[in-house]
Amino acid sequence: MESPPSLHIVMTPWFAFGHITPYLHLSNKLAQKGHKISFVIPTRTRSKFNHLNQFPDLISFYPITVAHVDGLPFVAETTNDVPSSLIPLIMAAMDRTQNDIELLLRHLKPDMVFFDRFSSLDYQVGSRLGPSLYYSTTTPVTMAYILSSDRNLITGGHLFSETDLMVPPPSYPDPLINLHLHEARALYEDIATKLNGDILFFERWYMGLTQCDAVGFKACREIDGPFLDYLQKSLEKPFLVSGPLIPDPPVSSLEQKWVDFLGGFQPGSVVYCALGSEATLEKDQFQELLLGLELSGLPFLAALRNPFGVDSIDEALPLGFGERIKERGAVHEGWIQQQKILEHPSVVCFVTHCGWGSLLEGLVSPCELVMLPRAGDQIFNARLMGKILKVGVEVQKGEKDGLFSKESVCKAIRTLMDDDSEVGREIRINRAKLRDVLLRKDLESS
């Protein structure tokens, strides 16, 4: 049997680390099959992703200069460079690259273009330049909840309300997935935001979905099957799934200071906490999280960004915290070798924000999952894992204010770590079964 012909594919992800990274993981998987990839990326951001390109002979980066928009720092290119309040300006800046990207595509003449929900290659450009695939890094459980045609986001000329978002749309696969008031309010503020001109966030999102030739997901049917089927009936177009795209284990060794730190504890005793590359907490919530880790009584390593308004991690620590934890805990600011840490035999529990990439890294590790989602699809991911698949414990928050306490953080950890917890026992069994599925050798090739 002849092998299928190789394709030339252009990748145009939304300029956010949480989108660029999975697009590059997908590019590596496709290049492994012999396909040629042209990858659009902001000019200064390119250097931060060179190390993830496993096939430089087949994957070429095409740097794009991001135009300055009033209100943005002059060095800002991605959402990682700005607070969440300025993300609409990143969208506006990226929109201004549309002509450059269109000229590039006319020069490259690819067989297909993969684009993201806020990519400059939106429906306006994609419809003029041949086959396009909307490749979603947002999970099917999230998109089915928000964008199903069963949910009338505009009815009788009036925008839906935040209380409408507290419950799933009709015929949604599982009614156990719903939102608290504070979550619905935050989601409403996001998707009802006006972007360039008068177009709303969710309208632009939906237009990209409806105008593309096919939709792809970083997903697998073993986890997402019912939500994929439900959404496909709504959109009535071809759906493809790439599998979870779990990156290959890094070949580099774990940094020596973490080898020394983790090596000082018994196997299966350390809690690792990380909330992603872009999550920034308020100072009081930052301190509650650390105090909850301390209250658990277990050794821990926390990799966190400085809280808002604070220049350094040390400045943000609770009073007397450093002296109390001494050699039992460590708080680190900046990038860390997460996959290597999750593999370490001393690490037993992963406190995660439930970004899809981090969540999958946690699921294929031997660690138990404590889930602390903050926004967007993180919340839906946590509900899917906690309520439906029952493979982790979500930290409880206030119904109206959405705040967690040191006690709720500690309780979630202890639920999983205490041997006599029936809930913890069930979750550990379920998570081990799902891990076996995700590590199956033929999963992604299928």
Joined together, the tokens standing for residue 213 give 């030739």
Concerning whether 180 is annotated as a catalytic residue, the answer is no
Report the distance separating Cα 258 and Cα 262, nearest Å. Answer: 6
With beta carbons less than 8 A apart as the criterion, state whether 113 and 136 touch: no
Q: Which of 19, 25, 344, 353 is catalytic?
A: 19
With beta carbons less than 8 A apart as the criterion, state whether 336 and 361 touch: no
Count of CB atoms situated within 10 Å of the CB of 374: 22
Q: Which of 25, 81, 116, 344 is catalytic?
A: 116
Q: Which residue stretches of 33-168 are H helix?
A: 87-95, 98-108, 123-126, 140-147
Concerning whether 19 is annotated as a catalytic residue, the answer is yes
Strand partners, 332: 303
Q: Which phi and psi angles does 399 have, rounded to 5°? A: -60, -40
3-state secondary structure of 109: coil
Residue 404 CA: distances (Å) to CA of 271, 277, 297, 373, 423: 18, 20, 18, 11, 21
Report the distance separating Cα 160 and Cα 162, nearest Å. Answer: 7
Got the DSSP string for 227-296? HHHHHHHHH-S-EEE----PPPPPSSPPPHHHHHHHTTS-TT-EEEEE--SS----HHHHHHHHHHHHHT
With beta carbons less than 8 A apart as the criterion, state whether 165 and 184 touch: yes
Report the distance separating Cα 310 and Cα 136, nearest Å. Answer: 34
What is the number of residues in the chain?
446
Count CA atoms closer than 13 A to 141's CA, side-chain side: 27
With beta carbons less than 8 A apart as the criterion, state whether 80 and 277 touch: yes
With beta carbons less than 8 A apart as the criterion, state whether 228 and 253 touch: no
Question: Which residues carry out catalysis?
Answer: 19, 116
